[in-house]
Structure 1
Amino acid sequence: MANDMIVQLSDQDWEELLHEKDEKLKRALRELADVRYALDQSTIVAITDQRGKILFANDQFCRISGYERNELIGQDHRLLNSGTHPKSFFKQMWATIGAGQIWRGEVRNRAKDGKFYWVDTTIVPFVNQQGNIYQYVSIRSDITDRKLMEEEVRKSEEQYRIIAENTSDIISMIDKAGNCLYLSPSHRTVLDHDVPEEKIQNLLDWVTKEDRGIMEYAIEHVCSTRKEYTAECRLTSGGKQIWTETKLNPILDESGEVHTLLLVTRDITERKHSEETIHHLAYHDALTDLPNRRMYIQHLGREIISAKRFQSNLAVLFLDLDRFKDVNDSFGHDVGDLLLIETARRLKTCVKQGDIVARLGGDEFTILVSQLSGRKHAEEIANRIIQELEKPFVWNGHEFNISCSIGISLFPDDGEQAEDLLKRADTALYTVKSRGRNGYDFFDPTMETKSLERILMENELRKAIEQKHFEIYYQPKMDIGSKQLVGMEALVRWIHPELGMIPPNRFIPIAEETGMILPLGEWILREACRQNKEWHEQGYELKVSVNLSARQIYQKDLVENIRQILNDTKLDPKWLELEITESIFVKMEEATPVLQEIREEGIQISIDDFGTGYSSFSYIKSLPVDTIKIDASFIRDVHHNQESQAIVKAIVTIAESLNMNVVAEGIELTDQAEALQLNGCDQGQGYLFSKPLAKQDFDHYLKAK
């Protein structure tokens, strides 16, 4: 009975065991099916015999190669040979798997349609009980995209290497301490030396001692802010010193910290020399080499601050030469220039060291007397100047005499601002001249009373603006070489019903001072845009330039007004250029964002009358400016004066380095135009091409052109 029970249990166990094994087999088969599906979707699988004949090819193999399964079975992998790899490549592969070892490598194959593809390949040999290889299983992954990317990276790296090794700039990589990690070969040419890279320890060793702090600060700034920084400093090598501009860029690690810096260093020595020339021209009178108005105002401002601090006094003397025009008319401008040079020399002998003698223009000079002991001190200097200038001037064996008139203002009695002191000294000068010249006088508040003529002019101007007694004249801008018309400048003329045409120099200053320039300027801009749009519709697509006064720049709603005018007239902003004067540098911080906003509208900006006393390229570089217009005073003698030619060339050089255009004003002679071309200035305007023309005359001019 016990034996029967054991048999029954054994049968039950047997059934359970069979069931369990059946389930395990089913699971294994499902798992194998899943693995096969996964392999078919992502991996190329092939089985070959010991001779390399394909016995099995999965779906992915067929998809990637483009062959049907029956086209692959029985073939060997030479069917897919792309010709990329040498015979030694496959010889080494067969040697490895023939020895029973697994082979891994990257293979480039050719699909049925002729396209190439890359596969990451693993070949596993299978050995029977006798130790003989009877088949190989190869597992491949498509890496075509990765290989293409690697090739692109390789080409990119090659391109950057070629650029780095052939650029005229010095490209370097340094650590935070300035130690060189990489240095492009161009350092030998730029710095004119033969020092090998391995002997170059630290980039800071090249920087002059005076400028080393600049570069150290630049490195520290980039490391702390993780932002690009540009520094200008001098480098010394091979016994010479050059100016360089270096752009420092941070290279961040995975944590976002700066671990190295990429530097691009450019030789700007020529530009710096040009800037120094321009800087001197910007702050000095070209004829006498005295400080000009801008330098004088700046120095006067500093002296006022010092005088306030130490409670000292100053005097401003404003003088001009009496009947200087008669000298020019009688003896010519060359003699007049010699007289001005001699006047400047004599004036400098009348003041002590530390006082400033400046030429404002024409025959106008001004003297700043610091550490003034009192009113009598100023009188002594004025008398000394009058006596010195009364001495005969000798030219070419001829003697002639000339006198001067002087107006004097005192700090702090007559004002505490530079412009106020200068203006009131000028007012006192006008009083001296009005009563007969050849003398001096101190400013008195009663002198500021407006003349009857000024009051009448102001009233008439107000009525003229209300009744629109103005007309726009247009002066062509030309390409000097081709005589091609490239644009025009809009110039306002006041047509008085009784007095006729009144020139701008008589009413524009009054409009500026009274604020009437705002409605007048808006009318000029609107009329110029409207007329230009009309010419565009007739087929004449030209840019019109309109003068923008300093008073308008600081107008609160200027940009919105310009935008509205362009919208009303339907003139594309690219056909409008606004010309500003150098006086904006006085309040550059306020003007810059306004000009930037105008420029963002697509309107171009030009600096008019460049070189008349305010300009400095340290400011120009900071302003959103497209064009520099060289003042006519530099053009007048450019065809025979080497100094004027040097000025033009220096301006053109700097403008080109800042991607600015240059236009010459006041061209009257063919020789002037030729001299401008020789010195790099290709555009200009002046009577050589055309005087300003009324609208109907400009219509005829356009048709003729």
Structure 2
Amino acid sequence: MLLDTPASEEFDQITRLTSQIFDMPVSLVTFVDADRQWFKSRLGFPLAQTDRASSFCTRVVETADVMVVEDTALDPRFEGNFLVTGEPCIRFYAGAPLLLDSGHVLGTLCVLDHRPRTFSPQQRDQLATLARMTMAHIELHQRAGRVNAVTRLPNRAQLFQDLRARPAGTPSALMLVEIMDHERMLAESRAVGIEPLESLAIAFAARLRQLAGPGVAVYHVGEMRFCMEPAGNTHSQREAFAAAALARLAGPMASGGRVIELAPMAGLVEFDPGAVSPGDALRMAGAALYSVLGSGAVFAWHDAALDAAHRRAYRLMRDISPALARGEFRLVYQPKLNLRAGAFTGVESLARWRHPELGDVSPGEFIPLVEGGALIHEFTRWVLRTALEQLARWHGQGIELTMAVNVSSRNLEQSAFVDDVRLICMSAGVDPRYLHVECTENAVMTSARTQAALEAIRAMGVQISLDDFGMGYSNLACLRRLPVELLKLDQSLVQPIDGDTRAWLLVQSLISLGHALGYRILAEGVETGQAFSMLAGAGCDAVQGYHLSRPLEAEAIPEFLRVPLPEWET
């Protein structure tokens, strides 16, 4: 609260006035916690704080009443106190409690002198009155910290205080309303400045208070976010209120001489204040609000399962960096069969994560977190280094394979990526011709910078593959100018071919088209012998999938390669 805050002229005025009224050389506004007494304002006193045990004010806090000690040297409670026997030589003390409505005492307003004094009943009353005035000032100060400066509505701190005051078991709900999302707010502020947005918030707050009705608090908890308790005692009643309120809040709103079209959204949560903290209740309402985005709805209830998934994703994202440092990630390798050579001539490196508490984490779960986070470049360097060092070991054993590594558009856009590839190849002692970089159409076609990066590593001898071919929307348009050598048909195209005629016709056409344009074709996701035979017969250059091999640990690759292929696969 006010403990350990800087000195304030407002409180210094109080101690000066108190000292003048009682003609005392020392006046203090004190706050007392479990271990110490701290002075918010001190006039004529050298210390900034004392321990609680030696504090005179502790007695006032304990009794919640005015205490007067006319001669401390004659009082057995204080005669041996170091504040009496030595500097600052306190001989007189009078203190009045700073009392909250709850009965809790924050500290005192007190006066001291270096000689014994008398203190009349009238003076005791005056000191108590000054203490109450000080307390009123403190409460005003606190209220000012719980009010939004723009809308003058209670803010998040006030919401939390009000929720903490609710008894456990009280059925409670929050409705978090957002006027506009963060991206639009930034666009508006760039275009017209912050003042029109503040005017909009004020107008929206007035409309929301009108909808809430008398006796219902509306809180301003974010730049464009408001919170309230939805009307109703049941889930369905609250939902009906939310739907009706959002319908009335939507539409054009005049603000600052402009008309802005609003489409507010809301997240709702029901909770027991005895089991859920105020911060968590607001967080859950925020998670519900976030789930509305892109859904076509205008509000959503908190979904515990979805919330758990978001929290898990957040935890995983935080754990990625220490996991890299602790060696929790490893690479496995899926063999790729070259149908032209009738042999396995390459592998694809695939990252795996064994979390010490959560166990094996699916790549489908952690790879998007890596690609969207700040560690994408560090992670890709680790993959390149680990994969190429392993490739060098295999080459040293006479196992001549190529190594495929997946990279993202963010890797290609980084200026250091080309140098990273060159230096890691040199460090591992691997000829760049044995490195295959796999990237998606999105990565290849993102910008001139990504294409320049691909051309630069191609010039070193690195082979480029277009991964997930067939999943995008513009593959055919970009086929004639892709800076790649190989197209990997996505498993979503390949897996149905042994039971779906149209899927098979599509794959055959893509193989023919790719060859006509000078690309080699690899089919991934080959899971049956029939699919394998069909692809081989159609002239596919290479295949990869569980029918041939699941991803293997590095030490299993040499033994796998020693096993002869069945005749029908050669």
Shorter-chain TM-score: which interval? Answer: 0.3 to 0.5
Larger-gyration structure (1/2): 1
Using structure 1 for the length normalisation, give the TM-score. Answer: 0.37
Using structure 2 for the length normalisation, give the TM-score. Answer: 0.46
